[in-house]
Every structure is written in C-alpha cells, then in structure tokens.
Structure 1
Amino acid sequence: MSWTDFYRRRDALDAVLRAAADAPGAPLTFDRDLFSDEGELLLALHYRWMRQLTGRLGVALEDTSADRVDVVTRTWQALAAEQPVLRAVLDAHLTSGEAVEREHRVLALTAGLAELSEPADEIARVGAAFERLIRTSPRTVVPGRHRRLAKSA
C-alpha cells in the first residue's frame, strides 16, 4: 500500500465516522473503491481501535505499578470516551467473531486474567466477561498523559 492509499483509507474511515456520528447503528456509507464490503470496512475500523488500545495499554502499564485490571479498565474506558463514535459503530455493526475474540484475548492477557498457555477460546471467554465488567464499571479519570496521546492518535 502506498502512502497515497494509506491516506485515502484513513480519510475514508474518518468520513464514515463523521457520517455515523448522529446514528452509529444506521447502515454505514463508505467508499466501495477502498473497501469491498462492510465487513472489510469494519475490520479496518476495528484495527484502528485495537491499534490505539494496545498502544495506550503499553504506555499505561509502563508508567505505573498499579493493579493491571484497573489500568486496563481505565485505559479502555478512556479510549471509549475519547472515541465514542468509533466504539458505537463497532458495537452496532462488528460481527466478526475473530476480531471480537482477538480484542477479548488482548484484554484478558493484558489484565493478567489469563495466561498464554490457556486455550484461546478460554482466554476469549474470560476477556468477554472482563469487557462486560469494564462497560458497566463507573467511568474513571485517566491521567493527563493519556489525553495527550488521544489527540495525536
């Protein structure tokens, strides 16, 4: 992929999110020259989410000795608050079990709730339960460093 293609795809994803801001659950409109179908578009949006999430988790865990479950919870919640349309679009439309399970495994492993030696489906199950808890936990304030990172992402 050339830099021109990269920027076209980035701009197309931004346009999808702008269009979905008022109704994230509505059918998505997108450039079919760049994405062959909605599934490909959603995987690109999920990749954007995961890239930001994993980067922030790495920074958050490096900068603290706090409880890993708490760090992962605060980091996920902060990103969801900073990217509400992206999260809402993914919640409303993403049906790829593989992509969702990958996110669940990242959450479980990063929080220390599972080990790599466990079966992948068990790790994903633990991560799914953890994500449900993250979504229902009270929102917490994340230190200013994460807000600065969000502006550059």
Structure 2
Amino acid sequence: MSWSDFYRRRDALDAVLRAAAGDPAAPLTFDRDLFGTEDELLLALHYRWMQQLTGRLGTALEDSDDDRVETVARTWRALAAEQPVLRAVLDAHLTSTEAIEREQRLLALTAGLAELSEPSAEIARVGAAFASLLRTRPAVVPGRHRRLAKSA
C-alpha cells in the first residue's frame, strides 16, 4: 500500500465515522472502491480501534501501580469516551467473530484475568464477560476480578 492509498483509506474511514455520528446503528455509507464490502470496512475500523487500544494499554500499564483490571477498565472506557462513534459503529455492526474474540482475548490477557496457557475459547469467554462489565458498570471493583475469571 502506498502512502497515497494509506491516506485515502484513513480519510475514507474518517468520513464513515463523520456520517455515522448521527446514528451509528444506521446502514454505513462508504467508498466501495476502497472497501469492497462492509465487512472489509468494519475490519479496518476495528483495526483502528485495536491499534489505539493496545497502544494505550501498554502505556497505562507501564505508568500505573493500580490493579491491572482497573487499569485496563479505565483505559478501555477512556478510549470509548474519546471515540464514541467508532465504538458505537463497531458495537452496532461488527459481526466478525474472529475480530470480536481478538479484542476479548486482549482484554482478558492484559487485565490478568486469563493466561496464554488457557484455551483460546476460554480466554475469549472471560474477555467477553469483562467487556460486558466494561459497558455496564461504572467501575470494576479491585479484588473482584478473581471471581470474574472463575464465574464468567
């Protein structure tokens, strides 16, 4: 991909998010010359989300002495607050099980709720429970993450 292509794709993603700001659940309008299908578009948007999330998680964990669960929760919520349209579009449209589970595994592993030695499906299951809590609870109570991993 040339720099020209990179900037065209970036600008196209920005345009999709601007158009979706009024109603992120509405059908998405996008340049089909750059993204052949809605799935390709959504994977590109998810990639944008994951790039930002992984970078912020790395920095947050390095800079914090707080509980890992709380640090991951605070970081995810902060990014969701900064990128509400991106998060809402992904929540409304992303159906790629692989992409969704990738994010769930990242959350579970980074928060210390699962270990790499566990089966991938189990890690994703724990991550899904954690992601659900991120969306519904104002804060994760430190010390409760041990029960989440076992009961999720």
State the TM-score, normalized to the length of structure 1.
Answer: 0.90
Q: Counterparts in 2 of 1:14-53, with a 5 A limit?
A: 14-53=14-53
| Counterpart residue identity of residue 9, structure 2 | R
For the 8 Å contact 2:104–2:131, the answer to whether it is kept is yes
Give 1:93's aligned residue. Answer: 93
Q: How many residues align?
A: 140
Unaligned runs of 5+ in 1: 141-153
**2: CA distance, partners of 1:107 / 1:39:** 23
| Counterpart residue identity of residue 106, structure 2 | V
RMSD: 1.0
Give 2:74's aligned residue. Answer: 74
**1: CA distance, partners of 2:123 / 2:34:** 33
Q: Deviations over 1:40-66 (max 9, x none)?
A: 000000000000000000000000111
Higher relative contact order (CA 8 A, sep 6+): 1
Q: Deviations over 1:69-99 (max 9, x none)?
A: 0000000000000000000000000000000
**2: CA distance, partners of 1:87 / 1:134:** 13
Q: CA deviation at 1:139?
A: 6.1
**2: CA distance, partners of 1:41 / 1:19:** 14
| Counterpart residue identity of residue 62, structure 1 | E
**2: CA distance, partners of 1:22 / 1:139:** 28
Q: Deviations over 1:10-52 (max 9, x none)?
A: 0000000000000100000000000010000000000000000
Give 2:84's aligned residue. Answer: 84
Give 2:6's aligned residue. Answer: 6
**2: CA distance, partners of 1:108 / 1:79:** 17
Closer/same/farther in 2, CA of residues 109 and 87 from structure 1, 3 Å limit = same
Give 2:145's aligned residue. Answer: none
3-state SS of paired residue (1:26): coil
For the 8 Å contact 1:77–1:139, the answer to whether it is kept is no
| Counterpart residue identity of residue 124, structure 1 | A
4+ residue runs of structure 1 moved beyond 6 angstroms? none
For the 8 Å contact 1:68–1:110, the answer to whether it is kept is yes
Give 1:105's aligned residue. Answer: 105
